[in-house]
Amino acid sequence: MKDTGESKDQQLTVALRIRPLSDAELEESATIVAHRVDQQMVVLMDPLEDPDDVLRANRSREKTYMFDVAFDYSASQEEVYRATTKGLIEGLISGYNATVFAYGPTGCGKTYTMLGTDKEPGIYVRTLNDLFRAIEETSDDMLYSVSMSYLEIYNEMIRDLLNPASGFLDLREDSKGVIQVAGITEVSTINAQEIMELLVKGNRQRTQEPTAANQTSSRSHALLQVSVKQQSRSPHLQQEVRFARLFMIDLAGSERAAQTQNRGQRLKEGAHINRSLLALGNCINALSDKNGHKYVNYRDSKLTRLLKDSLGGNSRTVMIAHISPASTAFEESRNTLTYADRAKSIRTRVKKNLLNVTYHIAQYTSIITELRGEIQRL
């Protein structure tokens, strides 16, 4: 496949994935309003449900967004993994922290991207596989060990998904000032099949609450933590042990509490989830400030406290935002695109001139798509 948007010196990569239209969306005769135009560009069309709404009709019906890399229904799990996450492994082995997270409304493909299915495994398994392989191939003078843990943050409480019986866990700062989850299960090197089984089992332990938006709506953040420990094989250097951490995160649905008609307890959960997502967004914005003048407030949520060392310093972050292509999901898609766009806005300011040119191309492309549709209907 082509090398899409992979760049080594970039601290923050923002990717966008549009999942295929679902059977449910087809049944409610939804049309496709989100299109991938090229490797980096996405166009969202306002479905304009009410043709008499003059105010809306007068506004431009489509908006173009640029990302480091864009995927649609045709992208394989392997392609998404290669263009977003594979490049982090090298850094991890050299001692740099990294974070990959899936963002987006419930039902838009976050778990599919991160966990995937037995036949189409996602980023978790592919990353661990390549990491084990890369370590086998690295120099003989270092000794590496890899361990993983899988946890959930739900309602600002932390649970061990590999051992749910252990109750709620606390965050502690270790002697080096690194935030750790106290008492979490850590599983060391095992093969891909075993990892997948563990993760699928762990995923079943995630807190699921039905909401009006989706029967299996997930209100929790799931975090797969991969720790790489390295130590020199030479006896007099063995004292120095280095750690690097990779977090791969399946975030809770980003839909707003009001839109899922949440009430009572679930509204409270919604508030917590929004707080975590907001805190994460704020941290990323501050981190991507070129001048480094912005204060990064990690203490705002459990999620950002835990991610402190993975987000800051010499680390790389990948955000994969997810949307549905359906007309019925237009508002949510627009919110998600705006959020993802804001996450990279500071860094991409220099690209603006390019955007004006490509905007016109995008407009024509969508007009062509529309005309094609009309021809087909004739």
**In the 3-class helix/strand/coil scheme, how is 81-122 assigned residue by residue?**
HHHHCCCHHHHHHCCCCEEEEEECCCCCCHHHHHCECCCCEC
* Distance of alpha carbon 71 from alpha carbon 63, whole angstroms: 17
Binding-site annotation, residues for ATP: 104-111
In DSSP terms, 153 is beta-bridged to: 158, 221
The residue nearest ligand ADP at its CB is 109
Query: Of 214, 260, 219, which is closest to residue 108 (Cα–Cα)?
Result: 214
* Distance of alpha carbon 337 from alpha carbon 65, whole angstroms: 7
Q: Give the interface segment with ligand ADP, choosing from 30-38, 108-116, 235-243, 293-301 (CB under 6 A).
A: 108-116
Q: Give the interface segment with ligand ADP, choosing from 102-110, 178-186, 280-288, 367-375 (CB under 6 A).
A: 102-110
Under DSSP, is residue 146 helix (H, G, I), strand (E, B) or coil? strand
Q: Is 111 in the site for Mg ion (CB under 5 A)?
A: yes
* Distance of alpha carbon 95 from alpha carbon 243, whole angstroms: 6
| Footprint of ligand ADP on 193-222 (CB under 6 A) | 218
> Which residue among 5, 87, 104, 325 contacts ligand ADP (CB under 6 A)?
104
Q: How far is the CB of 22 from ligand ADP (least distance, A)?
A: 6
Stretch (H or E) spanning 78: helix 77-84
Q: Give the interface segment with ligand ADP, choosing from 28-36, 105-113, 179-187, 328-336 (CB under 6 A).
A: 105-113
Q: Is 260 in the site for ligand ADP (CB under 6 A)?
A: no
The DSSP letter of residue 330 is H
Q: Is 108 in the site for ligand ADP (CB under 6 A)?
A: yes
Q: Give the interface segment with ligand ADP, choosing from 103-111, 237-245, 293-301, 364-372 (CB under 6 A).
A: 103-111
Q: Is 336 in the site for ligand ADP (CB under 6 A)?
A: no
| Footprint of ligand ADP on 134-173 (CB under 6 A) | none
> Which residue among 13, 64, 99, 106 contacts ligand ADP (CB under 6 A)?
106
Q: Is 121 in the site for ligand ADP (CB under 6 A)?
A: no
Q: Is 20 in the site for ligand ADP (CB under 6 A)?
A: yes
Q: Is 218 in the site for Mg ion (CB under 5 A)?
A: yes
Q: Which does 107 bind (CB under 5 to 8 A by kind): Mg ion, ligand ADP, none?
A: ligand ADP
Q: Is 111 in the site for ligand ADP (CB under 6 A)?
A: yes
Total number of residues shown for the chain: 378
Are 317 and 99 contacting, i.e. CB atoms less than 8 angstroms apart? yes
> Which residue among 110, 245, 272, 347 contacts ligand ADP (CB under 6 A)?
110
Q: Which does 109 bind (CB under 5 to 8 A by kind): ligand ADP, Mg ion, none?
A: ligand ADP
> Using CB under 5 A as the criterion, which residues of the chain lie in contact with Mg ion when the complex forms?
110-111, 218
> Using CB under 6 A as the criterion, which residues of the chain lie in contact with ligand ADP when the complex forms?
19-20, 22, 104, 106-112, 218, 322
